[in-house]
Amino acid sequence: MIHNPNNIHTAGKPLEEATKVMIMVHGRGGSARDILSLSNYIQDKEFAFIAPEAQGNTWYPQSFLRPTTENEPYLSSALEVLTSLRARLQSDFNFKLPQIYWLGFSQGACLMLEFVARHATEYGGVFGLSGGLIGPDETPRTYEGSFDKTPIFLGCSDHDSHIPKKRVLESEAVFRQMGADVTTKLYPNFPHSINEDELNIVNLLVAGNRLSPAVT
């Protein structure tokens, strides 16, 4: 494995005491500590936060829109890290899948969204900030399983420098078809970043509020 599955950082409540856990996945050039700083904006204080760190701060070398073979073996290794992390949270800390939440930004959002699509089940929530499913336009989306009304939020600029609007909307359609309760919001001319409104929506969904199906 290229990425070290044991290179993880934590914040919030200790994993042994928390009733919920949020896996936070950083973007290209970022770090686990960077993405964990978002935990300060999560209002629910029952969370443990856990973030893996990519080898060289990058999960895979090419754009997420390139053929997946061009991002191997890094992409498979990165997906294995998330598989390992989810399994350890279940086996070592007894978290049930609906107690597990996912949040990612940019490359981390793409990786995380691709992982949950390949491992669809009822999670606590999935929050993809500036991200979309991985692969070129013609990629078959033959995922199996159901999200069983898992709340999924996709937030992105409508003219993002890395994430095409088209891919965000395609991802929304895939997740909705797989039984997720999807909220999508595209921010006019917003930079490739995270904004306060996105974090407010994350907090609303964590609190159990249901938003309008799609806001574009």
DSSP per-residue letters across 168-197: HHHHHHHHHHTT-EEEEEEETT--SS--HH
Give residue-wise pLDDT tens across range 101-147: 999 999 999 999 999 999 999 999 999 999 999 999 999 999 999 99
Task: Give the per-residue pLDDT at 216.
Answer: 47
Name the β-bridge partners of 23.
Answer: 50, 102
pTM: 0.95
- Please report which helix (H) or strand (E) contains residue 22, including its range: strand 20-25
pLDDT at 215 over 60: no
Q: Are 120 and 147 in contact (CB under 8 A)?
A: yes
Q: How far apart are CA 180 and CA 175, in angstroms?
A: 6
Give residue-wise pLDDT tens across range 148-159: 999 999 999 999
How many other C-beta atoms are found inside a 10 Å radius of the C-beta of residue 154? 28
Tell me the domains of the chain and their CATH numbers. Answer: 8-207 (3.40.50.1820)
What average pLDDT is seen over the chain?
Answer: 95
Give residue-wise pLDDT tens across range 36-77: 999 999 999 999 999 999 999 999 999 999 999 999 999 999
What mean pLDDT is predicted for residues 90-96? Answer: 97
Name the β-bridge partners of 102.
Answer: 23, 126
**Structure confidence at residue 212 as a pLDDT band (50, 70, 90):** low
